[in-house]
Amino acid sequence: MYWTLELASYLEDAPWPAAKDELIDYAIRTGAPLEVVENLQDIEDENEIFENIEDIWPDYPSKEDFFFNEDEY
């Protein structure tokens, strides 16, 4: 299982919190690449409820990871 920012971005608007099967269904319905579906299928815990993308990919960059001064705009 591997994630990239591009692949993970397909799950940003997923109906969180969600179970593995719900995320797979969402990825298929929204036309996400096959790699996203395969990554979700590789998740071992069938019954876990995921609160957000960070539960699936802990290295997903958060807003704080980007140096952006909102006060300037």
Instruction: Answer yes or no: is 47 within a domain.
Output: yes
For 23-38, write each residue's pLDDT tens digit.
999 999 999 999 999 9
Does 47 or 29 have the greater pLDDT score? 29
Question: 63: which DSSP letter?
Answer: G
Domain count, the chain: 1
pTM tops 0.85? no
Supply angle C-alpha 41, 46, 50, rounded to 5: 85
Instruction: Answer yes or no: is 10 within a domain.
Output: no
Per-residue model confidence (pLDDT) at position 4: 87
Instruction: Answer yes or no: is 68 within a domain.
Output: no
Say yes or no to pLDDT of 39 above 90.
yes
Instruction: Answer yes or no: is 12 within a domain.
Output: no
Per-residue model confidence (pLDDT) at position 7: 92
What residue numbers bound the domain in which 33 lies? 17-53
Residue 23 in contact with residue 72, Cβ under 8 Å? Answer: no
Instruction: Answer yes or no: is 23 within a domain.
Output: yes
